[in-house]
Amino acid sequence: MVSLDCTLLNFSEKDLFFSIFENYGNDFEYTYKGVFRRTPPPLCPDCGSGMNHNGYNTYSKKNLGSVKIGRYICPLCGEPGEESREFWESLKKEFFSVLNHVYQILRVNHVSYEGISDLMEAIFPRGKDTILRAFTDSVEKAVVPPLEVSYIVHYDEQFPKRGRSQKYRLTILDHFTAQPIADELHNKKDPDTIKEFLGRHLDHNEVTFVVTDLYSSYSGVLEDYFWE
């Protein structure tokens, strides 16, 4: 475990520091000046000699914080070096992943990007365009589990219309996940169209519980398609 040189100002945060650096061994230290480095310094990658400590570089993220990463220098060949700042990159990634989750929750509840930006002024200021890009990226990277065969489904229809063009949107939803199993636009919604739609997405040989409304033709369509 990395050694910590705490001061009276940061002693209360020692548990947090240990959680951040828990993956580092005993050859690392976090000094009382806030510098993360190895002790003793590593070997020179060029000549193999032991390097010396040589100050630090500061890396900052606006409105979030900064870290001091130790530098090294070889006393024989003068080769400079710097400690890895992987923990800092991981902290930033974890922080922004939490923000992305917040954006998703707010968008599900129909909060506008401008509204989210106004809220973030009290947490971590971000513009609405930045939030839009982050939200879009997080949705694209989301892992959606594949749908398993479901025997409880919901069937419904919508009637989108543009000008004089009337369409019929037929939809089957999985009861357990609420994910669409099928979602298609058709020019009509007569019994034959509905049965063809069901036939492409549901196995009539399986016992299936279909939840739908009380439109008069549904009982006949479902009985014809599923037999009994």
Q: How far apart are CA 215 and CA 204, in angstroms?
A: 21
* pLDDT for the residue 204: 85
Non-local (6+) Cβ contacts of 99 within 8 A are: 120, 124, 126, 134
The residue ranges of every structural domain in the chain are 3-84, 90-141, 152-226
pLDDT reported for residue 90: 87
Q: What percent of the chain has pLDDT over 70?
A: 89
Angle between helices 128-141 and 113-120 (to 10 degrees): 110
pLDDT, tens digit (0-9, with 9 covering 90-100), for 110-158: 999 999 999 999 989 999 999 999 999 888 887 766 666 668 999 999 8
Residue 215 pLDDT exceeds 80: yes
Q: Are strands 152-158 and 209-211 parallel, antiparallel or unpaired?
A: parallel
Q: Which residue has the tokens 């509840």?
A: 109
- For residue 75, the tally of other CB atoms under 10 A from its CB is 13
pLDDT digits (tens, 9 = 90+) for 158-172: 888 877 888 999 999
pTM reported for the whole predicted model: 0.55
Q: Residue range 48-60: average pLDDT?
A: 94
Q: Is the pLDDT of residue 1 over 60?
A: no
